[in-house]
Structure 1
Amino acid sequence: MKTTPNSKLAHWLRRSGLSRTELARRVRAAGQAWGQPHISTDASSVRRWLEGDIPRSPVPEILADTFSAVVGYRVTTYDLGLGDSQTVDNSLVYSSSFATTVASVSDLGRADVDRRKFLAAAPFAAVAAVGPSRDWLLNTLDQEPEPGPRVRLEDVSKVKNMFGTFQDMDVLQGGGSGRLALAMYMNVHVYPLLRRTHTDEVRRALCEAAAEQTYLLGWMAYDSGEHGVAQRYLVQSLRLAEESRNAALGAHVLAGMADQATLLGNPTEGRRLAQAGRAGLSKETSHACMADLWCLEARALAKVGDKRAAAHAVAKSEDAFSRVRPEEEQEWAEFIDHAYLNGEHANTFRDLGEADQAEAHARESIAHAQRQKRARRGAMSQAALAVSYLQRKELEGAYKAGLRTLTLAGQVRSSRAVEAVQDLQRRMRPFGDHRLVADFNERARELTAA
């Protein structure tokens, strides 16, 4: 049977400026990153696709990510003439259809619980946040859910009551502790409710509760180092937050996306996402969320070396936090406190090379985290304190803070805490084979190996 030439794929190939050989090379490289080393695409493969052959999954998804990275915004498998994409691609799309959003987030939750390899290997897509943050600000929603048994406010209250339990689990034990349980709970009890009919009041409340917990799933995946999974949860959480008409919650989701972008080496995008979140708070203000957004902008500015702008953003964050009234804030904002903000400010000044200010903020964070028994935050702030010592060439102080980092990191399931230890090991290398460096590396070996 003769196939029809794929004009859509040909269009995007011309638009990207890539040759067939270069496209094939990028697909092979992406296949390695996705854990699919058997993908052996060459220029002949690209020719067959252009002639109408449909490659097997996950090649269509890899092609979508490849073209997206080249052109600077999201290109889907449908755009490429390769059919509807699987969950790994659908969950990056910020759909105007509520029904499509529900289907995407439900499929994502099921894939996460099943621990499907294609999802776990899905990479972070640097440009995927461009469309969602723009569409969230434009606020264009007009779809209705599918018919079914009516949901009551009492049903939503049960969902919201579970949020604090899972958030405490994340804060105190790390993202690797409760994520599977939360994903199963969402799949069984929450996402099915989204498919049913509601009054407008109930629908907004339900979408708000679902957005909060979908964000938390993304944050837990982020803390476990599964950034492709985390990004997909965050995109769908942002769409649900918009449906709820809770601007502060949407800005909170953008803060998480900003944090992730900066962490993964895209500080310019991280700053833009933080700015978009602040713009969305113009009509409905959360001082805690505003403090967080300024804090994350400071982190991004520090990464690009803009000392003056970063210091200004830290000051704006502190000013916003001084106006926080806990009783007026939403439950998800509870973590935005002295321990968190001072810890992040310590990292900002660490990246700027301002050792004294980094130390002051790190010590403030450590004191609050210790009182709250927050091992993950304590570990990361102890690591920032250790780096401040290293920046002043004070190895003994860094060693002692490093040991405290190891102790706290071992108490939680958090890849970020482990990465803080690994960062310390890298920063100690200039001290060569000093006995304190050797001892720290020996003590860290078991944690980093695990």
Structure 2
Amino acid sequence: MRSANDYTAVNRWIKKGERPRSPVPNFIAQALSERLGRRIAPGDLGMPDEETLAERGLSYGGSPLKTVETIIDLGRADMKRRHVIKAPFVLAALGAPSRDWLLATLDEVHTERGPRQVGMRQVAGIRDMFALFQEMDVMRGGGHARTALIEYMSSYVVPLLKRDHQRPVEQALYEAAAELAYLIGWMAYDDGEHGLAQRYLIQALHLAQASGSAALGAHVLAGMSDQANLLGHPHEALMLARAGRRGLSDTESPACTADLHILEARALATLGERAAATRAITQAETTFNRVVHENEPEWAKFIDAPYLFGEAAHCFRDLGQPDQLEQFATESAEGARRQGRARRGALSHAALAVGDLERGDVESAAAKSLHVVDLAASVNSSRCIATVRDLQGRMKPYSNVREVQQFNARAGELLGLAA
């Protein structure tokens, strides 16, 4: 009896264009890698490996170079719109990475590595590109430039990571690569591709650990907490935010610490823990007052007053406290307007609209919601679209009100959303 993968099967692959099923593509790629002396992935051969890649993306550990390879494979699949981009968000995968990162971080002796100097020229260039792409995300949404960032990381950053370097340069490159991987994951999150985003974030966390940057690792955990809470998992979101805080010293990035406090408050508010959520908001404000933005890393640039007040407003929205909601959301919306940040403005104006609804002022809520639609239409962000849908759902009982009808018409016209 012949093997299922004999010369007949190979003939079908070559002559008829049939694709072998898992795990055959991985066996073929492994054999060719050994023969050629370099890594060949199933995707390089036009063969599917989405199932194993989806699993690898959730794994935390191994060498940093293995993590880099996983990020590259995720990027290839992402660029080619292969099925791994539809891989599900896996709640059970959140615990081990945060635990392992925290234990490793607490075991390390933190030392001051000093300023980045040349020999670090490439690292400085990577950080400049990170700043550019982060600005694109903040101003235009996560769906705007993700594929360009993936291409930059694959074609420029990864080849640098594969070279031999002195330890300080190696750590700096891992840190820069972790920042980029985090940003790619955050863009995927904002674009509504949550399973893919989760996998990027887990790999970014491992690179952050390899770099020795506790603040960057805590920042990645903040992103994971934000995502978990958005997807309806506040207990896990709380665990992730607290793990991030425990891995930081009092002097490392007050901006990141403030962010973790406010994300802890978001999770507590979702859980209905009013007193604890309010305390966490107060701690976030107190910590934020210690921030000196010039001393913060580039990735902390967005952790500013419009962001922090906007997140606090959403806490009070979830707690059903419209007066506090209005105070913080107004501050956030005004700051976002001055900065030209449409995504943050849309989220904060939506919170104001919810506050109006809770007071029974439907006309005012609908007017603010019209503005949310206009802002959402100017960015490529699925979170903004979801926010408009949320407002439509809240206003369904008032569908006969003229202003609500105008809001629904605008949402249909600009965003294609039916009421």
**Above 0.5 in TM-score?**
yes
Distance 1:286 1:350 in 2: 28
Aligned residue in 2 for 1:113: 79
Distance 1:317 1:293 in 2: 8
1:132 aligns with 2:89: no
Is the 1:248–1:284 Cα contact (8 Å) retained in structure 2? no
Is the 2:377–2:415 Cα contact (8 Å) retained in structure 1? no
Distance 1:449 1:251 in 2: 38
Match among 178, 200, 225 for residue 145 of structure 2: 178
CA gap 1:272/1:187 in 2 versus in 1, 3 angstroms: same
Written as runs of structure 1 = structure 2, the 5 A alignment for 1:81-100 is: 86-100=52-66
CA displacement at 1:381 relative to structure 2: 0.4
Distance 1:284 1:93 in 2: 31
CA displacement at 1:445 relative to structure 2: 1.1
Q: Deviations over 1:173-201 (max 9, x none)?
A: 11111111001000100122222111110
Is the 2:141–2:380 Cα contact (8 Å) retained in structure 1? yes
CA displacement at 1:113 relative to structure 2: 1.6
Identity of aligned pairs, percent?
A: 52
Distance 2:75 2:103 in 1: 27
Q: Deviations over 1:285-317 (max 9, x none)?
A: 211001100100111111111111111110010
Is the 2:306–2:335 Cα contact (8 Å) retained in structure 1? yes
1:192 aligns with 2:192: no
Q: Say which SS state the counterpart of residue 183 (structure 1) adopts.
A: helix
CA gap 1:407/1:432 in 2 versus in 1, 3 angstroms: closer
What TM-score results when the alignment is normalised by the length of structure 1?
A: 0.78
Aligned residue in 1 for 2:46: none
Q: Which amino acid aligns with 1:254?
A: L
CA displacement at 1:448 relative to structure 2: 3.7
Q: Say which SS state the counterpart of residue 176 (structure 1) adopts.
A: coil
Q: Give unmatched runs, 5+ long, in structure 2.
A: 4-19, 25-48, 109-117
Distance 2:266 2:414 in 1: 27
Match among 88, 101, 114 for residue 67 of structure 2: 101
Match among 335, 342, 351 for residue 309 of structure 2: 342
Q: Which amino acid aligns with 2:175?
A: E
CA displacement at 1:159 relative to structure 2: 1.1
CA displacement at 1:55 relative to structure 2: 7.8
Distance 2:2 2:357 in 1: 67
Distance 2:409 2:399 in 1: 14
CA displacement at 1:85 relative to structure 2: 5.8
Aligned residue in 1 for 2:228: 261
Q: Deviations over 1:187-228 (max 9, x none)?
A: 100122222111110011001100111100011001100001
CA displacement at 1:446 relative to structure 2: 3.0
1:165 aligns with 2:132: yes
CA gap 1:393/1:57 in 2 versus in 1, 3 angstroms: farther
Q: Say which SS state the counterpart of residue 144 (structure 2) adopts.
A: helix
Aligned residues: 368
Q: Say which SS state the counterpart of residue 127 (structure 1) adopts.
A: helix
CA displacement at 1:97 relative to structure 2: 1.9
Is the 1:169–1:178 Cα contact (8 Å) retained in structure 2? yes
Q: Which amino acid aligns with 1:285?
A: E
Aligned residue in 1 for 2:256: 289
Q: Bigger CA drift: 198-207 or 101-110?
A: 101-110
Q: Say which SS state the counterpart of residue 197 (structure 1) adopts.
A: coil
Written as runs of structure 1 = structure 2, the 5 A alignment for 1:272-283 is: 272-282=239-249
Aligned residue in 2 for 1:437: 404
Distance 2:313 2:235 in 1: 20
Written as runs of structure 1 = structure 2, the 5 A alignment for 1:361-400 is: 361-400=328-367
Q: CA RMSD in A?
A: 2.3
Is the 2:367–2:407 Cα contact (8 Å) retained in structure 1? no
Between 1 and 2, higher relative CO (CA 8 Å, sep ≥ 6) is seen in 2
CA displacement at 1:282 relative to structure 2: 2.6
Q: Which amino acid aligns with 2:240?
A: L
Q: Say which SS state the counterpart of residue 389 (structure 2) adopts.
A: helix
Distance 2:21 2:250 in 1: 47
Written as runs of structure 1 = structure 2, the 5 A alignment for 1:231-250 is: 231-250=198-217
Distance 2:281 2:405 in 1: 36
Distance 2:280 2:266 in 1: 9
Q: Which amino acid aligns with 1:120?
A: I
Q: Which amino acid aligns with 2:94?
A: A
Is the 1:234–1:253 Cα contact (8 Å) retained in structure 2? yes
Q: Deviations over 1:130-186 (max 9, x none)?
A: 1111111121899xxxxxxxx942222221121111011011111111111001000
Is the 2:363–2:404 Cα contact (8 Å) retained in structure 1? no
What TM-score results when the alignment is normalised by the length of structure 2?
A: 0.84
